[in-house]
Each structure stands twice: as C-alpha cells, then as structure tokens.
Amino acid sequence: MKLPGPDHVLSPRTGLTREHWVATADDLLAAAWRYASPDQAFLDLPGRPSRSGVRSDGLEGYARTFLAAAFRTAHGEDPHHWLERYAAGLAAGTAGEWPAIFDVGQPMVESASVALGLRLTKPWLWDVLPEAVQDRAEAWLREALRRVPAANNWYFFPYTVASFLESAGRGDDETRRAKARAMELLQGWYVGDGWYSDGDGRAFDHYNGWALHLYPALDAHLDGRPVTTHLREHLENFPLLFGADGAPVYFGRSLTYRFAAAAAVALGAVTGETPLSPGHSRQLISRTLRYFLDRGSLSGGLLSLGWHGPHEASLQVYSGPASPYWASKAFVCLLAGPDHPLWTEREEDADEDRTLALPGPGFLIQRHNGVTRLHNHGSDHVRPFEGEYATEDDPLYSRFAYSTASGPTARHNVSDNHISLVVRGDHSVRRRIHPLGARDNWAASWHRPVFDAHQPTVPGLRIESVTAVWDDQELRIHRVIGAPPGTRAELTGWATDPRSPLAGVRGWTGSELRTAPQGTAFVATAKVPVLTAEVEGTVTLAAVAVLHGSVAEADWDARVDEILRLTLDA
C-alpha cells in the first residue's frame, strides 16, 4: 500500500492524517475492483467461499467495498470515479443479478451496506439514476423490511434500509415499523455503561460498537437528531479495550473485520457524542489502522481472511472472501471533513493503565504496560433457547481471559485460560455464564460444566469462579461444587510462546506444559501451562497467572481468603 509520508508534527504517535485514511480507502478499493464482474454487480474476491455461496459472496464484495467508497466520497470528492462503478453495479444487480433477500439470509446483511452507501452519496449517485433503476433498487431493498432477520444486531439491517428509503422520500408505515422495532429491541438489550447485548441473552463483544451503536447513532446524526444510543457512555470505557500498539482485544466473533473495531471511536468524534478529545480519538483510530497495516493484514492488496495475516481459526462459517471488508466501517471517520477537529487537532497520547469492572456485561478490564486483558465473567453468546447443552467449547467466548497481545487456542487444541473437569474421560466446557458481580478489581460468575452428548451434565456439579487483579497479576479462584469421585480438574493459563507463568496457590497438585499445534492468531504454535488436581465434593482451587511477566512475591493464600469474603462467601 502506497501511503503519503508520515506527518509527525500533527500526528506524533502514528504519523497518520486524514490523507492517509483517504489513500488507504482508495488503495483497498483499487485492489478489490480488479475482481469485478463485467457488469460490475459483483466483486468476486479470491478465497474459500462462505456457506452462502459465491453469488452471495460477490454481492458482499460489492456492498462492503461500496461502504468504504461512500465514506470516502461523502463530501463529493470522487477523483477515481468510484461512484460511477457502483452505479453501474447497482443497475445490473437490481435487474436480476443479485440474489434475493430472504429470511435470515446473507443478502439482508449486505442490503444495509448498499442502503447506507446510497444514503451517504445520494446527490451524486441516487439522484442521477434513471427512475426505473431507482424503482428496482427500492424493490430489492424493501424485501429486507419483509423478511425475518437473525435475532440480534441484524434488526438494524432493515432499520438502515428503512432510513435510506425515508431519506429518499420513499418512507411509509413499513419503514417506520422497521425502525421502531429495532429501537424497541435495542432498549431491551441495554445493560449499562454503554453496553448492549447482541440479541437476547448475554453476547457482548465488538458488535456493540460496530453495529448496535453505529447504525442508529449514524442515522440520528445524518437526520440531525440527538444520538440516543449511550455512545458517550460506551466511549468512557471502550478505549481501554485497545492496547498501546492499537490492537483491539481479541474477543468475540467476526474478528476478521479488524480495524472496524475502531468505528465507534470515529463515530463519537463525527457525531460529537464522545468524552474523548479529537486528538485522542484520532490517535486511537489511526493506531488501530496502522496496527493491521503493519502486520500483514493485506495479501495482494486485499484484506485477508484472518487477523494479522490469514488465520482460519479466526473465522466463522459465514465468513467469505469479502467479509473482511466490513473493516470499511472504520472509514466513518471520513464523514469528518478536512477542517474537522478530528483531523486538525494534534494527536494526544492519552494511554493509561488501570483496572475497570463493568458489572453489566460482566467484564473485568485490566490494562498494564499498554496491554489490555479482558476477564470474561458475563459474555457467552448462548441464545436463550439453547440451554446449557454444547458438544464443544466456543474459543471466542468461553475462555476466562482474552487480551490485545494474545489469542485463544483453536478448537480441538488444548483450551487456554480455562478450567475443565474430567469425568470418566470426558472434558467439560464452559457454556452458559451466570454473572455473580463485578466491582473494583474483581469479577465473578458460575457455570455448569457441560460434557459430550452422552453425558451433557452431572447432577449438582457447578463451578464458581472469581478473577481478581493487581497490576499485571491475576488471581484465579475456582470453587468446584459437587464433583463426583474420580474427577480431575485442569486449569490452563495464557497461550503464548514462550510460555506465560501459571502458579498454583491452593489445591493444585500437578503441573505440565502442553502444546497447541494450531497456535493462535498471534503465534504459529503456542505453549499452554496446565495445573491439575484430583477433586471430590466441594473444593477451592486457586492460582496466579501472568501474561508476559513473572509471578510477584505476595501472600497469595491470604488474598484468596480476602477475595472469597468479598465475593463467593458474601
């Protein structure tokens, strides 16, 4: 990628300015458009197809890059004539080339990017289309209002389609109902501190910023209405979820969207709904962009399916070759024009190390020496109707800790940051998480260990867990309740190379080191420390873990009693 030279006067930390963001958008678009279909309705990027098939993937390539082009040209500057290409593609796609929108189908997802792109570029694209093309586009988009979304952030896809139709003078009762339904659901998903669950249940991850805040807050801003999504509250704590190097915390699904994680910060600056100064906001978003550009996220000019470079374990079955281009959401920053304070004020270095408990989502955020750890006692991505049953763990939600400098191990490898009970040879997984509280320097939860299909649960068996932190030290306490005779407990620490320490404090009798051959998104192979113990009935186990450091000298056994009095024994 060919970017302008760095400007270390205006941007002393990153060297990036608005011109660098514009150049990045242009380069990403130029690379992607090499794979356009002759009628320009599809961008068929190379790579393994998603479960939705190659036609849907080609539509995804069109729609998600269109979002980047729309943010790039939203002030009327289009020196590369991107909008001419997207106009041609829209005409061909809505003439029958694009797959129809259907219930819980990928075309519904892409309809939101098409609609938002049309709204942002309305004077230069939509308004000059022939009326017949406008009518066809409306007919295709309107199906998003009539089909059933997935029971989560997907309700903001018909919301966004409805918002565009209203801005184009084509609103009606159908568009109003779609918007009202999404906002009604959003209010019910709010848990405090700017955090929404991604649907009923407890799914808290990056979708909070790049979807649940982005769509309604941007709609309000474009309409000149007040933003009502608690965006300001979210940005009070959200910057802690980035490392000093710009890395977002590696947690939750769809991580191949990469620097889209910074979209909420940019959105706050654009809308004014932020506690962050313009210089701090620019430093955060530019560090995140630079983090990925400097670490091999591009392959042949295209965003690869992965994290740094290609990484299969980072993906979901719905991920296709164009999926990473939801990173386009970060270019919402370009809605701030060249004279906006986001770009004219000098970058501010506002990094701070601190610990923050968020009882709503059940998070304990620990930032030390520029690395953030997220201790998860509340986000499980289990839908209400799914109960406790699971045949395997979900590495992106089930682990007790995540960070900006490490990733979880892949399925079928040893699970990092996990406690497992082994009963008759079967290892348990952590499925539904029941929060017990989060305050000061601790967070607590309990879960029912779940085994394979032949023995989903053991009657009366549960694990209560607490994480308490000091500086870079993590005290992990687990109270096993109702363990049958012959049960073995296994606790694992951070998956790194070289290994990070995990030291037993109470109850653990054995230790070993296991290899995760698939590694993580950060290392090719990982070493995972493991503590073991035979348990029966009710047993309290405790250990100290450290990521990239050493265990401090302290009376850890006394701290166990102190934390238990504050939490599980309270």
Using one digit for the tens of pLDDT, what is the confidence trace for 143-157?
999 999 999 999 999
Strand intervals (E) in 243-359: 298-299, 302-303, 355-358
Q: What are phi and psi of 54, to 5 degrees?
A: -70, -30
Segments of the chain assigned to CATH 2.70.98: 355-566
Cα 399-400-402 angle, rounded to 5 deg:
80
Residue 8 has pLDDT above 90, yes or no: yes
Which of 200-214, 384-398, 426-440, 510-524 bottoms out in mean pLDDT, i.e. has the lowest?
A: 384-398
Tally Cβ neighbours within 10 Å of residue 436. Answer: 20
Q: Name the DSSP class of 226.
A: P
Which of 1-5, 58-62, 105-109, 278-282 bottoms out in mean pLDDT, i.e. has the lowest?
A: 1-5
Segments of the chain assigned to CATH 1.50.10.10: 18-344
CB 397 within 8 A of CB 379: yes
Strands 526-545 and 462-470, by their bridges, are unpaired
What's the confidence (pLDDT) of residue 453? Answer: 66
Mean pLDDT of 251-276: 98
- Alpha-carbon gap, residue 259 to 324, rounded angstroms: 10
Q: Is the peptide bond before 275 cis (omega within 30 degrees of 0)?
A: no
- Alpha-carbon gap, residue 208 to 203, rounded angstroms: 9
Confidence of residue 390 (pLDDT cuts 50, 70, 90): low
**Residues 172-191: b if buried by 16+ CB within 10 A, e if exposed:** eeebeebbebbbebbeebbb
Residue 32 has pLDDT above 80, yes or no: yes
For residue range 474-493, list pLDDT tens digits in order.
Answer: 999 999 999 999 999 999 99
CB 373 within 8 A of CB 346: no
CB 205 within 8 A of CB 378: no
What's the confidence (pLDDT) of residue 130? Answer: 98
Which residue in this structure is represented by tokens 């458009």? 33
- Alpha-carbon gap, residue 74 to 126, rounded angstroms: 13
Continuous segment of H or E residues that includes residue 178: helix 173-188
Mean pLDDT of 186-192: 98
What's the confidence (pLDDT) of residue 391? Answer: 63
Residue 58 has pLDDT above 90, yes or no: yes
For residue range 220-234, list pLDDT tens digits in order.
Answer: 999 999 999 999 999
Distances (CA, A) of 370 to 172, 263, 282, 285, 358: 50, 21, 18, 16, 20
What's the confidence (pLDDT) of residue 1? Answer: 84
Mean pLDDT of 370-385: 95
Residue 158 has pLDDT above 70, yes or no: yes
Give the per-residue SS3 of 412-480: CCCCCCCEEEEECCEECECCCCEEEEEECCEEEEEECCECCCCCCCCCCCEEEEEEEEECCEEEEEEEE
| Amino acid at the residue 155 | Y
Cα 103-216-272 angle, rounded to 5 deg:
160
Radius of gyration of the chain (CA): 24
What's the confidence (pLDDT) of residue 387? Answer: 77
- Alpha-carbon gap, residue 465 to 540, rounded angstroms: 10
Instruction: Classify 176 in phi/psi space as left (phi over 0), alpha (psi -120 to 50) or beta.
Output: alpha
Residue 18 has pLDDT above 90, yes or no: yes
What's the confidence (pLDDT) of residue 347? Answer: 97
What's the confidence (pLDDT) of residue 389? Answer: 73
Mean pLDDT of 435-439: 98
Q: Closest by alpha carbon to 205, among 392, 415, 396, 405?
A: 396
Mean pLDDT of 184-203: 98
Q: CATH: 2.60.40, 2.70.98, 2.30.30, 3.40.50. Which one for 355-566?
A: 2.70.98
Q: Strand pairing partners for 479? A: 464, 540
- Alpha-carbon gap, residue 155 to 148, rounded angstroms: 9
Residue 455 has pLDDT above 80, yes or no: no
Cα 557-560-566 angle, rounded to 5 deg:
150
What's the confidence (pLDDT) of residue 385? Answer: 87
Cα-based torsion angle of the residue sequence 231, 233, 236, 242 in order, rounded to the nearest 10 degrees: -50
Q: Closest by alpha carbon to 303, among 117, 109, 65?
A: 65
Mean pLDDT of 306-331: 96
Domain 18-344 bears CATH identifier 1.50.10.10: yes
Mean pLDDT of 43-64: 97
Q: What is the mean pLDDT of the chain?
A: 97
